[in-house]
Amino acid sequence: MMHRLIKSFTVAVFSVFLMLFSGHLFAQGEGQNENHGSTAAQEGHKEEKGGGFNARELIFGHVLNAHEFHFLDLKGKNGETHPVTIPLPVILYSPQRGLTSFMSSRFEHGHAAYKGYRLVAGVVKPVKEDGVTIDETVKVYDVSLTRNVVQMLLALLVFVWVMLKIANRYKKGEGVKTAPNGAQGFMEPIITFIRDEVAKPNLGYKYERYLPYLLTLFFFILINNIFGLIPGSANVTGNIAFTLLLGLISFVVIIFSSNKHYWGHILNPPGVPLGVKFILVPVEILSFFIKPFALIIRLFANMVAGHIIIICLISLIFIFANLNPYAGWGTSLVSIAFTIFIYFIEILVAFIQAFVFTLLTAVFVGQAFEGEHHDSHDHEDSVIV
């Protein structure tokens, strides 16, 4: 049973990833992710006359998407800055210029143009022959492998590798008659918890149909939350494109799980006076569309907020150091202590948000076939018991 279950939701992971990947490419093509970490910081330094520490650019450079993984900046002997980065593939399509691909290092962190394109505040723009003037007559679709997409792919590979390894152990009979250990021992209680405390109470006798999807949601969000806490990594779950696609997928699942009882309660609430229906029905319809937004905004806001708080606490050290070196040293003790505290809180939030997204999805799907629950009450009770 456990072996088949893990195999099923591993397949579901691939489906969810493909939809999320397509959504990220669409968002990039439409210019949704318009900021680049190191380049944005350089633009901010140009605008800021003092050339001092720019906390705003540091914060947005971390939480937004980019064409490279930016870890730190090293100071040279002459005071010049040398960013330490991992460049990523830039893939561009223009109806006028055709398909173009190269590594983001060709942009030299926004200082140079390449093949008629240039990074301007993190957005790839077509430029004229001088390499500076933006060519407004050229339309560009950016379908690059940005750091959010690459990190999501890495998280997927790690996740699938772990799950297939665990599934093979169950297939060989390991951990069935004896207590499981290692990754198997870590995952089994979580899978059992999602099954017994989330799927069964909210989905009843249909829980087995939706359990692979619920497990996919939980673990895929969790592993991306955890990866986002690694210094220098991308905050994938703090990207609105990621949470938007997850919310839309859950919304589609809710729609296809609904029945006539569900729509009857929304469009024609039973036992309600006619005059009240004119008020209640629009509210019910509005609440139907609010459900996916509750999933989208909750995950996005919580994961972004935690990262911003951590960066703000660290930024206080450099802000006070610019005012007075002694103030910077004094602030560092308090800032580092609070940063460590918030960091551990973020680890807890990573699990909580994955659980809440999964739980609310199960609740909304369960409401969609609520009438069937009443019709099959006896069968549902026998399964849960």
pLDDT at 43 over 70: no
Of the candidates 294, 298, 291, the one whose C-alpha atom is nearest the C-alpha of residue 238 is: 298
Tell me the per-residue pLDDT of 327-338, one tens digit each, with 9 for 90 and over: 878 888 888 899
Q: What average pLDDT does the structure give for the chain?
A: 79
pLDDT band (50, 70, 90) for residue 72: confident
| Residue 40: per-residue pLDDT | 37
Which of 3-17, 100-114, 158-172, 237-251 has the highest average model confidence (pLDDT)?
Answer: 237-251
Tell me the per-residue pLDDT of 252-291, one tens digit each, with 9 for 90 and over: 999 998 888 888 888 888 887 888 888 888 888 898 889 8
Q: How far apart are the first and last CA of the chain?
A: 18
Which of 98-102, 110-114, 257-261 has the highest average model confidence (pLDDT)?
Answer: 98-102
Q: Where are the domains of the chain?
A: 2-22+148-384, 36-145
Query: Are 96 and 139 a contacting pair, CB within 8 Å?
Result: yes
Of how many residues is the chain composed? Answer: 385
Q: What share of the chain is helix, strand, coil (3-state, %, to 5)?
A: 70, 10, 20
| Residue 205: per-residue pLDDT | 86
pLDDT at 385 over 70: no
Of the candidates 103, 105, 65, 102, the one whose C-alpha atom is nearest the C-alpha of residue 84 is: 105
Hey, which bits of the chain come out as E strands?
A: 68-75, 81-87, 89-94, 98-103, 117-120, 123-126, 141-142
Query: Order of strands, edge to edge, in the sheet holding 141-142?
Result: 98-103, 89-94, 141-142
Query: Are 306 and 229 a contacting pair, CB within 8 Å?
Result: no
| Residue 262: per-residue pLDDT | 83
pLDDT at 225 over 50: yes
Query: Are 381 and 200 a contacting pair, CB within 8 Å?
Result: no
Of the candidates 315, 320, 304, 314, the one whose C-alpha atom is nearest the C-alpha of residue 340 is: 314
Tell me the per-residue pLDDT of 125-142, one tens digit each, with 9 for 90 and over: 888 888 888 888 888 898
Tell me the per-residue pLDDT of 338-369, one tens digit each, with 9 for 90 and over: 989 999 999 999 999 999 999 999 999 988 88
pLDDT at 116 over 90: no
Say whether pTM exceeds 0.85: no
